[in-house]
A and B are shown apart, each in its own frame.
Chain A
Amino acid sequence: MADTMKLSHINTPPAQTWNYLHINDVSFDVPVAEEHGAAFNRLPRIFDGIECGLGDEACGWIVASSAEARYIEVPAHTRRDEPIVIDIVAENGTVADTGVCVREGAEATIVVAVSATLARDALSAALTRVLVERNAVLHVVEIVAAGGAYRHIEGLGIDAAAGARVDVSQYFLGGARVAAGMAANLAGDGATFELACRYLVGAGELLDINHVVRARGRDTREDMIVSGMLSDGASKTLRETIDLIHGAKGSQGNEAETVLLAGENIRNKTLPVILCDEDDVAGNHGATIGAISPEQLAYLSDRGLGPDEAAALFMRSIFDDALIHAPEPVSAAAVALRAETVLGAEVSRDSLETLDIDFFKEV
């Protein structure tokens, strides 16, 4: 049985605030990383400089704890149709350290899927760092759908050069304690970044997110939309930071968050931050937190859906959205499996059929 240690300052945002709010970080108890031999397979040094939102402490632990780092290169001007899949089976306590280089003008998709079939307590982690070179295109889909007593630490770090286009879709569908950090460095002129994050936090679950976008290049675009739902007993912290750095002239950043409070005993913490020391930029953020609006409830009621059904509808929409965006079988299966537990087998199967998800169809 390995010794445990505490990672105390995971997910600290670039600008912190009053400590009594307990919103500056989250902690995790993790097994102490075993010593590795000299032949320990690490990523090329260049990945060390890529911020991932989790913070140095957590990143360092993941690198030290992963059995072997995996490096994938997507050659220049090629389009890699087959997604790079990082498959985390939660009950195995996997810790994955992956580095990807998407060379100039290339296009690739990365999928991180965290799922669980057995009901156990385990800790898994995935750190994915990506270099996106000039005019390359990167799609990332992260699905964390463990549930039960599982705990997971998820890190994503992206470095985008001039003209790079990056989009990230994140779905947090379950887990007793999940910390997710994401940092995108838009270093080159004209780089663009889009993030769509959806989550569902259930009874007794804790979801802690830290999104950071650094706009360094000129004329960059960064858009982050986060939308989620908290059920009874859910606990969630979201930190979104857009950092408009001196020199990023012409850049525009937007953050929008919507939280649906759909239960009792919820704890919702939000810290949407804009940091700015450049005048020729535009930064906006908006957050809406609350229950389903009376207007929406009235409309749905006119269509035969009472308040409970309305909540269930919103919940289902998160899974459906995840299914639509799951680009390959492993991620789709992770969503479907989790949907079965949360929505019930019938609804889950119905989604698969309605959305025509054919990964599992009998050949």
Chain B
Amino acid sequence: MARTQVQDINQSLYDFVMPEVGAERYADGLTPDIVRAISKKKHEPAWMLEMRLQALELYQSMEMAPNWGASIEGLNMDHISTYVAPNAKRTNSWDDVPDEIKETFERLGIPEAERETLAGVGAQYDSEIVYHNMRESVADQGVIYTTIEDALTDPELEPIVHKYFGKLLPMIEHKFSALHYAVWSGSSFVYVPAGVTLPFPLQSYFRLNAQGAGQFEHTLIIVEEGGNLHFIEGCSAPKYNVANLHAGAVEIFVGDGAHMRYSTIENWSKNMFNLNTKRSTVGKDAHMEWVSGSFGSHVSYLYPSTILAGDNSDCEFTGITFAGATQDLDTGCKVTMNGKNTNASINTKSISKDGGINTFRSSVIIGPHAENARASVSCQSLMLDDMSRSDTIPAMDVRCASASVGHEATIGRISDDTVFYLMSRGCSEGEARTMVVNGFANPISKELPMEYAVEMNNLIKLEMEGAIG
């Protein structure tokens, strides 16, 4: 009984449902007609519709790899609606956002965060962006933060989108990137002009409210030479008994000398299939950082990937994955090093409990001309009981003799000595274990903006309480 209570508390912050009143919902399943309808609703140029149809065909002909990865049994596309539009027009004022939707985001703390600490916010509700705003000071510097849909209807921006959209993440990448390109909806388009540094982060928040629906947002970020951006992605959904699907995509182009940081706390509910693809390409002397906390989803496939194309470019990946009961989370990252004198640093942690399955999967590929490439990969796994699983599957492919790669991984549990030490200072066993796990997650929470770090610590605390209770 106590356990149920904790679960309720755990999810109540996210586990609320708004009625789908006045919303437009397309039929479940996937047909060319549905795809055409989506494209027509958005008044897209012909090239975009063609791309969607091509992607649909590809999706239908592709298979999931049979020899690796978490099982996606339970996900039946015939029962997923790929398009659910809230009855709301996109606005830049919270006052104009319909009450139920506004309340959703207020409960999640978005408008408050925007006032206090953000340069701009994009809020997506099911398949459409309902709110989009950016501080004037930021707009004045020439920063563009809008949706791809809007950009496509703007004669100045459409060519930029056409130039970049889909170029980094080809639809043929895997089955669910093909699906994404067929039915993508809702998005962020960010353009940072040369030399501009945003004083605060931009944040997009994705809320999936509809049952048995999918969210397929596309984020396209272009940071020109010398620009500097921190982008935060937040996502959540209430828990249903049927599957929800998230197959989003993120493409990031980091120009020469530019600096980009992409932070995510993913807390999808435990019925979510999260098959997300994120990729960044990094120019000369430029820098890319990923910070990623994965706590939710029933099944996750998530490997943010970085291509260090330019000389002297580098990237850092810091991530934590917490897999609890019913979760099978296959996460990690990929780095491809092609430029000279590149540097990659990967630090991940994973925690497994209550039968959760955690798989750390990575690849570091160093091309034959990536002279002096330096890569270090560190992966630590904590097992909180003997019912769970933690697998580490890091692959390295090195083709340049002057490259240098270091890799280390450890798996173990909280030592009894540590628990006794903390208990001998007055902590209860549960508190002691939570302290150790929070300490374990500390390097990641240090990288997150304050509210996210707090949220992460809370999530850990609640997960741990569930375990002991």
Chain B contacts for A29, CB-based, 8 A: none
Q: How far is the CA of A264 from the CA of B368 in the complex (A)?
A: 9
- Cβ-defined contact, A16 with B67, below 8 A: yes
- Cβ-defined contact, A264 with B393, below 8 A: no
Per a CB cutoff under 8 Å, which of B389, B394, B395 touches A276?
Answer: B389
Is A17 engaged at the interface, CB distance under 8 Å to the other chain? yes
Is B402 engaged at the interface, CB distance under 8 Å to the other chain? yes
Interface string of A257-286 (1 = CB under 8 A from B): 001011111111111111111111111111
- Cβ-defined contact, A266 with B399, below 8 A: yes
Q: Say yes or no: A289-B398 contact (C-beta < 8 A), given A272-B409, A273-B393.
A: yes
- Cβ-defined contact, A284 with B408, below 8 A: yes
Q: How large is the interface on B (under 10, 10 to 19, 20 to 34, 35 or more residues)?
A: 35 or more
Is A246 engaged at the interface, CB distance under 8 Å to the other chain? yes
Q: How far is the CA of A281 from the CA of B389 in the complex (A)?
A: 12
Which of chain A's residues has its CB closest to B403's CB? A290
Interface string of B388-409 (1 = CB under 8 A from A): 1111111111111111111111
Q: Could you show 28 A-B contacts with beta carbons less than 8 Å apart?
A: A16-B67, A17-B363, A18-B65, A18-B363, A19-B65, A21-B395, A246-B386, A261-B401, A261-B403, A263-B401, A266-B400, A267-B399, A268-B396, A269-B395, A272-B409, A273-B393, A274-B392, A274-B409, A278-B386, A281-B412, A283-B412, A284-B409, A285-B407, A286-B406, A286-B409, A287-B405, A288-B407, A290-B403
Which of chain B's residues has its CB closest to A19's CB? B65
Is A15 engaged at the interface, CB distance under 8 Å to the other chain? yes
Q: How far is the CA of A261 from the CA of B397 in the complex (A)?
A: 12
Is B80 engaged at the interface, CB distance under 8 Å to the other chain? no
Chain A contacts for B65, CB-based, 8 A: 18-19
Interface residues of B (CB under 8 A from A): 65, 67-68, 361, 363, 365, 368, 381, 383-386, 388-413
- Cβ-defined contact, B403 with A280, below 8 A: no
Q: Say yes or no: A276-B411 contact (C-beta < 8 A), given A18-B363, A19-B65, A19-B67.
A: yes
Per a CB cutoff under 8 Å, which of A261, A265, A274 touches B398?
Answer: A261
Is A183 engaged at the interface, CB distance under 8 Å to the other chain? no
Is A244 engaged at the interface, CB distance under 8 Å to the other chain? yes
- Cβ-defined contact, A264 with B381, below 8 A: no
Chain B contacts for A288, CB-based, 8 A: 405-407
In addition to A16-B68, A276-B391, 4 A-B residue pairs with Cβ atoms within 8 Å of each other are A264-B401, A269-B398, A273-B392, A289-B407
Cβ of A262 to closest chain B Cβ, rounded Å? 7
Total contacting residues, chain A, CB less than 8 A: 44
Is A23 engaged at the interface, CB distance under 8 Å to the other chain? yes
- Cβ-defined contact, A17 with B411, below 8 A: no
Per a CB cutoff under 8 Å, which of A262, A277, A278 touches B401?
Answer: A262
Interface residues of A (CB under 8 A from B): 12, 15-19, 21, 23-24, 244, 246, 249, 259, 261-291
Q: How far is the CA of A278 from the CA of B410 in the complex (A)?
A: 14
- Cβ-defined contact, B391 with A274, below 8 A: yes
Q: How far is the CA of A271 from the CA of B377 in the complex (A)?
A: 13
Chain A contacts for B395, CB-based, 8 A: 17-18, 21, 23, 269-271
Chain B contacts for A246, CB-based, 8 A: 386
Q: How far is the CA of A274 from the CA of B400 in the complex (A)?
A: 26
Chain B contacts for A267, CB-based, 8 A: 397-399
Cβ of A154 to closest chain B Cβ, rounded Å? 23
Chain B contacts for A261, CB-based, 8 A: 398, 400-403
Cβ of A352 to closest chain B Cβ, rounded Å? 31
- Cβ-defined contact, B410 with A269, below 8 A: no
- Cβ-defined contact, B68 with A18, below 8 A: yes
- Cβ-defined contact, B398 with A15, below 8 A: no
Q: Say yes or no: A15-B68 contact (C-beta < 8 A), given A261-B401, A269-B395, A291-B404.
A: yes
Cβ of B70 to closest chain A Cβ, rounded Å? 12
Q: How far is the CA of A265 from the CA of B411 in the complex (A)?
A: 35
- Cβ-defined contact, A244 with B363, below 8 A: no
Chain A contacts for B67, CB-based, 8 A: 12, 16, 19, 24
Q: How far is the CA of A194 from the CA of B404 in the complex (A)?
A: 27
